[in-house]
Amino acid sequence: MLGVRIKNIHYSHQKIFMARRKRSSFLEDLIDIAAMLPWWVAVLLAIISYLILHNIATAPEVTPTHLVPGQMGAFVAGELKRALALYGQYIFPFAFSIGALLSFIRKRKDEETTFSSYSKQNTIERSQSPACPNCGSHMVKRKAKKGANVGGIFWGCSSFPKCYGKRDY
């Protein structure tokens, strides 16, 4: 009974989430997509989309001299394309630029967390580790991958594989 209720709650949350996704504008979708790309790809897209759309928007107008039905259709389609490009030349680069910025910020955040946790761990290991009996470098905790002592922890030289210094842990 409770399981069913939880499932229903979960389902309705999903529906709300999906509805919200659906309501988001075309511009937001574009920004979302661009933010998922590497920031430099998004920058590149911003530049390329501007160049292409600006080119279309400023292309010389071809006015049909004779109003042949087939030509009229092409003329209207051309005008429509031009009108879309007129707005698109600002909308696309704008969305891609925002996306690039978001992507860049996210990447930097990821790098910061990775780096800080790595250096913190590194500091702890260094302060507690003995010196290598062979070369004097600091030693790092390692797990034996083969030999009689498989899975056993020992101190290995940080200069491995240049130095094979070992100590009991």
**Does residue 162 interact with Zn ion by CB under 5 A?**
no
Q: How many residues does the chain have?
A: 169
What is the spatial distance between Cα 113 and Cα 24, in angstroms, rounded to a whole number?
30
**Does residue 165 interact with Zn ion by CB under 5 A?**
yes
Q: Cβ closer to Zn ion: 140 or 159? A: 159
Look at residues 57, 167, 67 and name the one whose alpha carbon lies nearest to residue 75: 67
**Does residue 124 interact with Zn ion by CB under 5 A?**
no
**Does residue 163 interact with Zn ion by CB under 5 A?**
yes
Q: Cβ closer to Zn ion: 106 or 126? A: 126
What strands lie across the sheet with 166-168, from one edge to the other? Answer: 139-143, 153-157, 166-168
Question: How many residues lie near Zn ion (CB under 5 A)?
Answer: 8
Distance in Å, CB of 150 to Zn ion, minimum: 22
- Tell me the per-residue interface mask from 129 to 148 with Zn ion, x by CB under 5 A, - otherwise: ---x-xx-x-----------
Write a three-state SS string for 7-45: HHHHHHHHHHHHHHHHHCCHHHHHHHHHHHCCHHHHHHH
Binding site for Zn ion (CB under 5 A): 132, 134-135, 137, 157, 159, 163, 165
